[in-house]
């Protein structure tokens, strides 16, 4: 008895069917070699498609990176450009004021009436200013025709209910130490020392004042400088004074210049009556470096580093002493001579910076 097993031929599928069909149409004969070639053609097409997609993704990523870089450069350039282009006055909100009282603007001036007029008008409009005290650093006193309009301007520009006091301080001698003489009848503990050609926007100034309130014994400001040990010879240490570019490059600072800085009013008395007289004599003789002397005084009293506040400042006057030749050498000499007179190096380096996070998304 025989058994018949039926086998159902379902026919070729996939690449085999394609090869047989192609052979039939062309009158040819099907072969496994042709089958492999057909299959390889299918997979080769898929590989090319995948490679194409990968190249498109890589190109998209590259374009995204380039766009991010270009955007970052534009943001950085525009932030720097505003400083180069000059100061644009900001109109403060009259309803806002500094927390916990205000501060006195101690302004040092030197034969720059136009800059003085603009600076007084600006700082009088800041809500936290309780007084403006102008130190007239010139042997010839200002005329009444100059003083009276400035006083009227201080009152008219102020948006506070209580108008700021406005005073001129004049001395018979032309001495840079007069910049830090004690002031009678101050209503505030905070002193904002500033040159007549430096403008700090009111909102930035208000933030710096709040930073100072958190550390009232130290100096808080906008113009950092640094120092480093240069060499030691015969047991004597020599230091180098570094300007802004050194701070920018190293990311470290150790002193602030009081051309735009807050400090407690007690330091005016310490500078005039307690600091070694040899340092004040040095400033009088050299007609330079009273700002370094004040920074060393604060550091010597606190044993702490100052606090640099990130914020734009604008110089509205012509270039001053700091742009003269040999300035760096003179500052180096001042620093080392003052350290010798103090008897030690009081400066404390730091890389801490106070930033107002409400207005900064990219530090």
Tens digit of each residue's pLDDT (9 = 90 or more) over 85-122: 333 333 333 333 344 479 999 999 877 778 888 999 99
Taking CA atoms, 109 is separated from 115, 141, 142, 204, in Å, by: 9, 12, 11, 22
pLDDT-derived band at 80 (thresholds 50, 70, 90) equals very low
Q: Is residue 339 part of a domain?
A: yes
pTM: 0.71
Tally of CA atoms within 13 A in the half-sphere of 349 that contains its CB = 12
Non-local (6+) Cβ contacts of 116 within 8 A are 107, 109, 134, 150, 196
- pLDDT of res. 33: 53
pLDDT > 70? residue 216: yes
CATH of the domain at 249: 3.90.550.10
Spatial contact of 198 and 282, defined as CB atoms under 8 Å apart: no
Q: pLDDT grade, residue 255 (50/70/90)?
A: very high
CA distances from 212 to 262, 332, 343 (A): 7, 28, 28
Mapping DSSP onto H, E and C, the string for 51-84 reads HHHHHHHHHHHHHHHHHHHHHHHHHHHHHHHHHH
Residue 344 located in a structural domain: yes
Alpha helices in the chain (DSSP H): 14-25, 32-85, 113-124, 144-157, 202-214, 244-250, 266-269, 277-286, 290-302, 327-342
The answer to the question of residue 168 being in a domain is yes
Q: Which residues contact 341 (CB under 8 A, 6 or more apart)?
A: 276, 278, 279, 282
Among candidate residues 241, 358, 363, 235, the one with its CA nearest the CA of residue 291: 241
Q: How many structural domains comprise the chain?
A: 1
Please count the helices (runs of H) and the strands (runs of E) in the chain.
Answer: 10, 13
Residue 157, judged by CB atoms within 10 A of its CB (0-12, 13-18, 19+), counts as middle
Question: How far apart are the C-alpha atoms of 329 and 320, rounded to whole Å?
Answer: 16
Asked, for residue 326, whether it belongs to a domain, the answer is yes
Residue 55 lies in a domain: no
Collapsed DSSP state (helix, strand, coil) of residue 116 = helix
**242 part of a folded domain:** yes
Q: How far apart are CA 100 and CA 219, in angstroms?
A: 18
Alpha-carbon distance of 263 to 346, in angstroms, equals: 17
Instruction: Give the Cα separation of 97 and 103 in Å (integer).
Output: 11
Three-state SS for 96? coil
Among 254, 196, 256, which Cα is nearest to 226's? Answer: 254
More confident residue, 198 or 140: 198
Confidence check: pLDDT of 363 > 80: no
Tell me what the mean pLDDT of segment 66-73 comes to: 65
What's the mean per-residue pLDDT of the chain?
78
How many CA atoms within 13 Å lie on the side-chain side of 159?
14
Q: Which residues pair with 233 in a beta bridge?
A: 236
The residues annotated as belonging to the active site are 291
In a domain, 36, yes or no: no
Evaluate whether residue 46 is within a structural domain.
no
What domain range is 230 assigned to?
A: 103-359
């Amino acid at each position: 008895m025989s058994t018949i097993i039926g086998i159902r031929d379902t026919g070729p599928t996939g690449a085999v069917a394609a090869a047989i069909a192609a052979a039939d149409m062309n009158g040819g004969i099907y072969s496994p070699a042709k089958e492999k070639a057909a299959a390889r053609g299918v997979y080769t097409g898929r590989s090319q498609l995948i490679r194409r997609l990968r190249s498109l993704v890589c190109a998209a990523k590259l374009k995204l990176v380039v766009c991010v870089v270009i955007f970052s450069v534009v943001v950085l350039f525009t932030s720097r450009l505003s400083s180069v282009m000059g100061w644009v006055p900001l109109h403060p909100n009259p309803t806002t004021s500094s927390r916990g009282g205000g501060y006195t603007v101690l302004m040092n001036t030197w034969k720059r009436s136009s800059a003085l007029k603009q600076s007084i008008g600006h700082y009088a409009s800041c809500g936290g200013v309780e007084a403006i005290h102008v130190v007239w650093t010139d042997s010839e006193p200002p005329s009444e025709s100059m003083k009276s309009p400035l006083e009227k301007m201080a009152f008219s520009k102020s948006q506070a209910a209580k108008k700021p006091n406005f005073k001129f301080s004049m001395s018979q001698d032309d001495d840079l130490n007069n910049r830090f003489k004690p002031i009678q009848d101050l209503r505030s503990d905070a002193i904002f020392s500033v040159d007549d050609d430096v403008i700090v926007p009111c909102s930035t100034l208000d933030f710096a004042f709040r930073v100072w309130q958190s550390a009232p014994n130290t100096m808080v400001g906008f113009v950092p400088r640094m120092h480093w040990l240069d060499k030691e010879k015969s047991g004597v240490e020599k230091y180098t004074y570094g300007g802004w570019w050194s701070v920018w490059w190293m990311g470290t600072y150790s002193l602030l210049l009081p051309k735009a800085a807050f400090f407690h009013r007690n330091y005016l008395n310490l500078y005039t009556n307690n600091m070694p007289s040899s340092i004040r004599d040095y400033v009088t003789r050299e007609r330079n470096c009273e700002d370094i002397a004040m920074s060393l005084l604060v550091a010597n009293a606190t044993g702490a580093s100052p606090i640099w506040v990130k914020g734009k400042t604008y110089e509205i006057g012509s270039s001053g002493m700091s742009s003269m030749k040999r300035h760096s050498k003179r500052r180096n000499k001042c620093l080392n001579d003052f350290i010798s007179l103090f008897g030690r190096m009081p400066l404390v380096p730091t890389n801490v910076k106070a930033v107002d996070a409400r207005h900064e998304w990219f530090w």
